[in-house]
Amino acid sequence: MGSLTQRQLRIITQICWTIALAVVAIPFVFPFLWMISGGFKSANEIFGSPSLIPREWQWQNFLDVFTYQPFARQYFNSLYIAVTVTALTLFVSSLAGYALARLRFAGSALVGLFLVSALMVPEEVTIIPNFFLMKWAGFIDSHWPLILLPVFGPQGIMATFLMRQYFMALPKELEDAGKMDGLSRFGVWWRIALPMSRPALAAVAIITFLNSWNLFLEPLIFVSSLEKFTLPLALSNFTDPYGMPLWHLQLAATSLAVVPILIVYLIAQRQIIESFALSGVKG
């Protein structure tokens, strides 16, 4: 056997690495494949064979999901709540973030410190009084808590600081020019600062949307009627009268909830991963 060249050696090492990574990747990928395949299996087959390809493709599952509970309504709830929370968070946090980054006023440092302290407190600590607050306001079994708490809770504060960080790094000259041209403060923010902050806005939007879409504790506590459920609650609710999960429906419904997000993720993975990196380092 002739000795290997440097190049061949590199290629072989690379192949070994790739195989090792592929093995590690199995528990990351397999649940998704299993979820989708399980959604197409019959209630019996799901326990029968470990094969990923269903013997019979049960498209019926994906229809039954919608008749078993108001799944379309629940899907819509999740969607409109996530969109609302994202839009409100973008507006509120970029306004406050801009003031903290650009405007000078007595107490700005104190306000910043005050707000940042919220990031250290887990929401489990404030959820009990917030429950009574919402009860007092008549918001139990409504979507208000699922909108208000994320927008103004730690997530919103985090978004504020992300925006602030980004605004501080922007060049000031354009905004000054805008002021010279007679734009109001609001106009400068809306027409100049915001358009220049698209990457930060995108990051906030992505993370806020996903957080709202996946929110579990708040819906569990505040929402009780089926038509008001959001997806995470609905998914865990495909059970028979004895409380045992109806796996084929549960997996079909879970696929319907997860696959669209996964498709968007696969298309925009670079942007999405960068958004998390940005918020993770700051948070």
Partner 1 sequence: MAGKPAIRVAARDEGAPWLTLKMREAMEAWLFISPTLAGFLIFFVGPLVAVVWYSLNEWNLLTQQSTYVGLANYADALTVNPDFWHVVRNSVIFAIGLVPMNMALALALAMALSRRFAGVVFFRTVFFAPVVTSAVAWAIVWKFLLQGEAGFVNQMLAGIGIDGPNWLREPDWAMAAVIVTRVIKMVGLNMILYIAALQAIPRDYEAAARLEGASSWQIFRWIVWPLLGPTTLVIMVVTTIGSFKVFDHIYLMTEGGPENGTLVLAFYIYQQAFEFFETGYASALAMIMFVIVMVLTVVQLFLRRRDT
Which position among 85, 157, 162, 204 is part of the footprint of partner 1 (CB under 8 A)?
157
Let me know: does 90 contact 184? Beta carbons within 8 Å. no
For partner 1, the binding residue among 82, 85, 200, 272 (CB under 8 A) is 272
Greatest Cα-to-Cα distance within the chain, rounded to the nearest angstrom:
82
Of 126, 183, 190, 196, the one binding partner 1 by CB under 8 A: 126
Comparing CB distances to partner 1, the nearer of 84 and 126 is 126
CA distance 195 to 201: 9
Q: Are 241 and 172 in contact (CB under 8 A)?
A: no
Nearer to partner 1, 202 or 220 (CB): 220
Q: Where are the alpha helices (DSSP H) in 57-191?
A: 60-68, 71-102, 108-116, 123-137, 144-152, 154-169, 173-180, 185-188
Nearer to partner 1 (CB atom), residue 2 or residue 27: 27
Cα distances (angstroms) measured from residue 124 to each of 98, 127, 132, 160, 269: 29, 5, 14, 21, 31
Report the residue from 108, 224, 239, 271 that binds partner 1 according to the rule CB under 8 A: 108
Q: How many residues bind partner 1, per CB under 8 A?
A: 88
In whole angstroms, give the CA distance from residue 98 to residue 160. Answer: 8
Dihedral angle, C-alpha 162, 164, 170, 171, nearest 10 °: -170
How far apart CA 150 and CA 86 sit, in angstroms, is 9
> Per-residue x/- marks for partner 1, 163-182, CB under 8 A?
--------------------
Q: Is 277 a residue that touches partner 1 (CB under 8 A)?
A: yes
Binders of partner 1 in range 197-226 (CB under 8 A): 210, 213-214, 216-217, 220-221
Asked if 105 interacts with partner 1 (CB under 8 A), we say: yes
Out of 156, 162, 205, 249, the residue judged to bind partner 1 by CB under 8 A: 156
Q: Rule CB under 8 A: is residue 99 a binding residue for partner 1?
A: yes
Q: Pattern of binders to partner 1 over 1-40, x per CB under 8 A?
A: -------------x--xx-xx--xx-xxx-xx-xx--x--
Least Å from the CB of residue 139 to partner 1: 12
